[in-house]
Chains A and B, each alone.
Chain A
Amino acid sequence: MRIGIACPYSFDVPGGVQFHVRDLAEHFIGDGHDVSVLAPADSETELPPYVTSAGRATAVRYNGSVARLNFGPVTAAKVGRWLEHGDFDVLHLHEPMTPSVSVLALMAAEGPIVATFHTSMLRSRTMQTAYPLLRPSLEKIAGRIAVSEDARRTVTTHVGGDAVVIPNGVYVDRFAQAPRRAEWIGRPSAPTIAFLGRMGEPRKGLPVLAAALPAVLREVPGLRVLVAGPGDPEEITEGWPPEVAAACEFLGGVSDADKASLLASVDVYVAPNTGGESFGIILIEAMSAGACVLASDLPAFSRVLDGGSAGAMFANEQPDDLARTLVSLLRDPQHRGELASAGQERARIFDWSVVADKIMAVYETVIEGRAASQWEPERRWGRFLPGRTSR
């Protein structure tokens, strides 16, 4: 099957949508399909062979955060060429409401189109003003996928209609087989916990963890906190109590392999995110690696952790509750072990092989509908609509 995938965000920087696109593409290529990904990227960025660059991305403030997007007439022409050259059986667009290559592909394409909605935080004002422009194009989407119940709610309230929920996938085995690293393994006197994510972004929850640490350190003085992720440690630790700053070790940005090893080595992985998470792929990665997970009780996290049976939870944005739960976990290795193995078991249902099968079923359904209808844009009213005829 010839599959075209459009990703709106630049491949220069890591991000959930980019990883999703990369993993999905690689899985389908492994299954013997012909996959081409279109995404913005700098000319210096090294791209996998299946990715076509749509040109350099521009950092734009959109929907409340800075995103690296790609737009303009040159990009539009590039998207058009990609579609024509690809001659895809199915076109899979990610985030079709983000003003980047996905929207351009949606406007230009005719043919079986599947769209995946990732965000759960679309602002209603953005939606109201952008809507009339997009509506006729959105009507071309034959199959809508949402990565989470929250993302699906965004679709039902803002776009209308419904979406099939197919969660993100994780290569469970890659994490399950990650080697443990001696310097990250905790000892009874000096247990280790890990935090992952951009330090400077408050909704990733590092401030909540920092606020909980004084109480934890009183009970467990030897605790080591391994913080991995981009950010400037000096700026972040400003104003922290000295004993908290001393307990933290900043690893900076880590590679995928190091991330897996880190998760496999530590005693507890803490995810204190305060909101804006539609899914929580990092939780599944931690569960796959065999870490005991302690996460805030966001609805998305609670669903991943099966209501707390596959990992511990604390009340969101409550450092006291976080401290209490963390201390009791650190003191109870047996409970940690139980949670970790329950988590590893549960992570299997989020494995890419399961997820990709579902996405393939969507492709097949959409293609079948298209084959049955035989839409002929040249002869009917279709010539009044913008967009090329791919098949």
Chain B
Amino acid sequence: MTELFTWIFATLFVLVIIAWYLSYTAARLDRLHVRLGGTLAALDARLVRRAEAAVELANSGLLDGATALLLATAAGESLESPSEHGEAREQAESDLTEALELALTPAVVDALRETPPGQDLVDKVTSACTRVQLARRFHNDAVTDVRRVRHKWTIRMFHLAGHTPLPSTVEFDDEMPSPLAT
């Protein structure tokens, strides 16, 4: 009789440990997913701000007409592309990066820095670009963490991730226009 109880308790104990481990893993994954949602939202906000800074620069009248048009078009594409991060969005962001690089040649940046409003715009674009880089890196770090944890067999076997799609890293060119980089 005592032996039977021992076995029952042992089994219960093991079951409790397994249950704790599963809920712990689920919580860990949930926390990661929340972090991922946050980093993506932050990246989105930073991208919008960068595009706005580009629009402001284009409309400032401090650039020549053709460059301003080029920059405004690229920024408009970025602002209008769907907020979900897909290939179209990544392409639009890469294009905006390229437009900024083309518009902000060393000579243009030097000229802009000579006037206070121009200096202001340069600072705004620099800061926006830095923050896009940071936000993208932090988001991709979160993606890497999520993907690694979701590879664990417990998570796959017990379907702990639910129906959340497996995230993928956001890839686009976010280089700072070279005259702005320190």
Contacts and interface: CB of A to CB of B under 8 A. Distances in A.
Interface of A: 136, 139-140, 142-144, 160-164, 349, 354, 358, 361-362, 364-366, 368-373, 375, 380-385
Contact of A385 (B24, B130, B135, B142): B24
Contact of B130 (A142, A162, A361, A372): A361
B134 A369 contact: no
B124 interface: no
B144 A139 contact: no
B63 interface: no
B106 to A, nearest CB: 17
Contact of B27 (A161, A369, A372, A385): A385
Interface in B121-155: 127, 130-131, 133-135, 137-138, 140-142, 144-145, 148-149
Given A369-B38, A375-B35, 11 more contacts: A143-B138, A361-B134, A365-B46, A368-B42, A368-B135, A372-B42, A375-B38, A380-B30, A381-B31, A382-B27, A385-B24
Given A164-B137, A365-B46, A381 B130 contact: no
A172 to B, nearest CB: 14
Contacts of A349: 182
17 contacts: A139-B31, A139-B149, A142-B138, A142-B142, A143-B134, A161-B144, A358-B130, A361-B130, A365-B42, A365-B135, A368-B135, A369-B42, A370-B38, A372-B45, A375-B34, A384-B27, A385-B28
Most chain B CB neighbours (cut-off 10 Å) among A139, A160, A162, A362: A139
B72 to A, nearest CB: 26
A142 B39 contact: yes
A143 B43 CA distance: 13
Nearest to A140: B31
B37 interface: yes
B28 A139 contact: yes
Contacts of A143: 134, 138
Given A365-B42, A365-B134, A375 B141 contact: no
A385 B35 CA distance: 15
A384 B20 CA distance: 8
A373 B35 contact: yes
B26 interface: yes
Interface in B10-44: 20, 23-24, 26-28, 30-32, 34-35, 37-39, 41-42
Contacts of B37: 372-373
A385 B31 contact: yes
A109 B44 CA distance: 26
A299 to B, nearest CB: 20
Contacts of B137: 162-164
Nearest to A362: B134
Nearest to B130: A361
A232 B39 CA distance: 52
Contacts of B130: 358, 361
B38 A372 contact: yes
Contact of A361 (B28, B34, B127, B140): B127
Contacts of A361: 127, 130-131, 134
Nearest to B146: A139
Contacts of A164: 133-134, 137
Most chain B CB neighbours (cut-off 10 Å) among A160, A164, A373, A382: A373
A292 to B, nearest CB: 24
A254 B37 CA distance: 50
Contacts of B42: 365-366, 368-369, 372
B144 to A, nearest CB: 4
Given A160-B148, A365-B46, A384 B138 contact: no
A142 B137 CA distance: 10
Closest 3 CB pairs of A and B: A373-B38, A372-B41, A381-B27
Contacts of B134: 143, 164, 361-362, 365
A160 B145 CA distance: 8
Contacts of B24: 384-385
Contacts of B26: 381, 384
Nearest to B145: A139
A65 to B, nearest CB: 29
Nearest to A110: B31
Nearest to A139: B145
A361 B34 CA distance: 21
B20 to A, nearest CB: 8
A383 B127 CA distance: 38
